[in-house]
Chains A and B, each alone.
Chain A
């Protein structure tokens, strides 16, 4: 089924509500919130990747005028609980400030609160810490060895998680296949790195015995984690969600920062305390790094290109404090075979701890590295068989008439049309022209290559990867709530309960409520209720807000419409089935002159109880809390499970030119076709997709959090960690296709991650196509100039 929706507002080009305040320089970022008497926090970072802390002397720091407090890990540990991770590893304690031992270079050892950030930084330099440096481990494979130094000695191993899943007849499929092939793919440590660092401001309200928090946050269960760590009731935490977040893409998870400022504010009698990371804090110790992964994959296939089975071992380096990082091995089970009809899969997932900063969730939650592995696999099979890379993809695609389609892991894909989307991408890119251009470049002595990659974008979320990896986490609920209030003047207010970090959630809610109630979205105000006033939310993760917040907004709007129809039926003396709702007014279909306007209906609801149906609640307000579709079930005895409900699809194509002398990659052409079902706002979707491509280009060619073998962190600035500028991002052509999801309010699916899921694989495919005439290949990201140059010179890449 392919159709563009017949809509008033959904899918139409409309201005984005949030842009007005952001473009006018009137955003409300956490750094913009000024409170008199605020204390500013700076942190002391360990220079050692692994060391015993023998003593801390803060006398000189405390003597500095303006310093209010020096907080050590020992004091904080005595008064708070360790932070929440999720794996059953009780001896791996994640603490905001180190206690006894530091586990990575950059780990926070002390925090100073002072009347200005400058004074706090001065004080940090006056703290004397006596360290006993210890051998460290930064290579995840070395960390797996029996004699490796232990990052968490109490855990007695550096393995945080290790399990092999087998879905379907893997051994049989391998035995029956005509060919097999093995390879290693390396996704080095990178991340999203927003331009705004993380920041948190806390104020303990002594009059109410309550902690107020403003933070640059994007995380599920933030208030719950604060309450647990600070040992206070959950209803004594009020997180203000109307803070504009300056980009996140998964990483804005400053729980340890929040615990520090929350604890300090309470200890210091309710003075506001804020911690705004500087760039070094952010990159070295801010818990902002993403997956760091080694895939060893074996694939079984026939000579006609049919891929039958795959065996994947993924070693993921979680760093010193795992947090939610290890679960980024679990989520990709949602789409472990991509858009292809693979019959069986073996998946060994290994999470290992090392002396690096902790891993946090990053856009796609492990899907982008996994997709890079899957697409590398398909390209390698094609190359081995001498098959065209488009042909092998078409041959293995799930057929458009096979949906809902269950992959071996038990997850059902909701809908899709992969061949058509690929065809649209190929047409947009003009494949024959790309081939001609590539050949012309090669004739001139350049290395040129065409990249092709597809990706599935699981959207909507659910928590089942956690249960799969830790069955004590019996969490099947994954919900989102939205409220609607129509006041006595007939004005509509939508109430959401989470922050926004560039995804345009206010626009989303207003567009969907406007669509369903047939009212102008620009007249709908959307507010972010704080965590005590708002409805349950799981926050903007998992490419889920169009699906879940959109669905909740639609559900709330439909409740209002139902109520209006009941009011009209009562007043017009006709059953609801004989009435027509039109733009907010309701009329009698048999006699359209008998009509109640929107204003009249709102007046009745708010002021004329005598005209309400007997027993009806007065006012016009509704709440809707929606459980994720197809969510709620536990895995079966074979570990088959529904992970995420909706599956968007993209096809990426690129032409690259590599300078054979320097290894510099120039992207000459980039085209992509995308299908995320119904598009709610075309500008938002296009922006997220192209932004995701830019982010993926960074992961493919430039971005690496590099640790030297001695454990020192080498890329703590934007001069060392290279984010693509406008010169590195080509003009991206895009074309849309719409296969609506049958599971969502308007057929929408997720769109925030796909660009980032497809681009790294596409660039890698292009680079390898360019290297093919020299019989070279490179399967490690990022493919930096120096790596390609080394490969061309016959050196080992660094």
Chain B
């Protein structure tokens, strides 16, 4: 077993896991944060997306030990301090940018990654940002609309 210490959603956490444990399983099973979802475990679907040191990554494609000492943000980190849905989350609700909700956390992490770099994205940039996240329910239209709303709201807030 290896001891892993990381910052997750602004909180420092320590837990032990086998070296072969994926970051995805570590987040879900060892840290008890279940918004990050398992879809394909081979890096294609994006349901397990998290931010690692400010960059979106697939948590299924790296080991938890590789995240030791790093800063991780999961979809839970997009909630407001009081636990209510944050701006990106609320924009997904407003546009009904989901159906079953399974890919949604990964989509919102991708949205966060995009809007932190590009506050006023074009539709092409939005498509590029979620191009690695598969959704089987929506056909993406309402997700794109949700991201446009989130971008507008975040711009209005600054």
A interface residues (Cβ-Cβ under 8 A, vs B): 15-16, 18-27, 29, 31-32, 34, 118, 192-197, 244-249, 276, 278-279, 501-504, 683-684, 686-688, 690-695, 717-719, 723, 725-727, 729, 731-732, 755
Contact = CB atoms under 8 A, between A and B. Distances in A.
Interface string B104-126: 11001000000000000000000
A692 B133 CA distance: 18
Contacts of A276: 38
B137 interface: yes
Nearest to B123: A731
Given A34-B32, A690-B141, 19 more contacts: A18-B101, A19-B98, A19-B101, A25-B35, A25-B78, A31-B34, A32-B34, A195-B45, A196-B100, A197-B38, A246-B100, A502-B98, A686-B141, A687-B138, A691-B139, A692-B139, A718-B44, A718-B45, A729-B140
A378 B152 CA distance: 46
A725 B139 contact: no
Contacts of A502: 98-101, 137
15 contacts: A15-B94, A22-B98, A24-B85, A25-B79, A25-B89, A194-B100, A195-B40, A246-B37, A249-B136, A502-B100, A686-B141, A687-B142, A691-B136, A718-B42, A718-B134
A21 B101 CA distance: 9
B139 A693 contact: yes
Contact of A196 (B76, B89, B102, B143): B102
B142 A23 contact: no
Contacts of B3: none
Contacts of B34: 25, 29, 31-32
Interface string B19-35: 01100000010001011
What is the interface of chain B mostly: helix, strand, loop, or mixed? loop
Contacts of B45: 195, 718, 723
Contacts of A684: 96, 99
A279 B76 contact: no
A244 B98 CA distance: 13
Contacts of B89: 23-25
Contacts of A34: 32
Interface of B: 18, 20-21, 28, 32, 34-35, 37-42, 44-45, 47, 74-76, 78-79, 83-85, 89-90, 92-105, 108, 127, 130-144
A725 B102 contact: no
Most buried by B among A24, A246, A684: A24
A690 B138 contact: yes
A726 B144 contact: yes
A675 B97 CA distance: 22
Nearest to A31: B38
A502 B38 CA distance: 17
Contacts of A248: 100
A727 B101 contact: no
A24 B76 CA distance: 7
Nearest to A718: B44
A249 B134 CA distance: 16
Nearest to A504: B99
Contacts of A31: 28, 34, 37-38
Contacts of B130: 726
Contacts of B132: 725
Given A20-B93, A23-B90, A725-B132, A683 B142 contact: yes
Contacts of B74: 25
B92 to A, nearest CB: 5
Of A18, A195, A244, A279, which is in contact with the most chain B CB atoms at under 10 Å from its CB? A195
Contacts of B141: 686-687, 690, 729, 731-732
Contacts of B18: 118
A732 B139 CA distance: 9
B101 A20 contact: no
A23 B98 contact: yes
B142 A244 contact: no
- A-B pairs with lowest CB-CB distance, top 6: A25-B35, A22-B101, A246-B102, A502-B99, A502-B100, A694-B139
B42 A194 contact: no
Contacts of B144: 726
Contacts of B134: 195, 718, 723, 725
A23 B93 contact: yes
A483 B91 CA distance: 32
A215 to B, nearest CB: 15
B30 to A, nearest CB: 11
Select the residue from B37, B78, B97, B140 with max chain A CB neighbours within 10 A: B140
Nearest to B135: A195
Most chain B beta-carbon contacts within 10 A, residue among A16, A25, A276: A25
B96 A683 contact: yes
Contacts of A717: 40, 42, 44
Contacts of B135: 195, 691
Nearest to A20: B93
Nearest to B92: A23
Contacts of A16: 93, 96
A688 B99 contact: yes
A192 B98 contact: no
Contacts of B93: 15-16, 19-20, 23
In this complex, the member of A15, A16, A23 whose beta carbon has the largest number of chain B beta carbons within 10 angstroms is A23
Nearest to B140: A726
B98 A503 contact: no
Contacts of B84: 24
A686 B99 CA distance: 11
A32 B76 CA distance: 14
Contacts of A193: 136
Contacts of A18: 101
Contact of B138 (A249, A278, A694): A694
Contacts of A27: 35, 101-102
A118 B19 CA distance: 12
A649 B37 CA distance: 36
Nearest to A698: B136
A624 to B, nearest CB: 27
B100 A723 contact: no
A246 B42 contact: no
Nearest to B144: A726
B137 A29 contact: no
Contacts of B79: 24-25
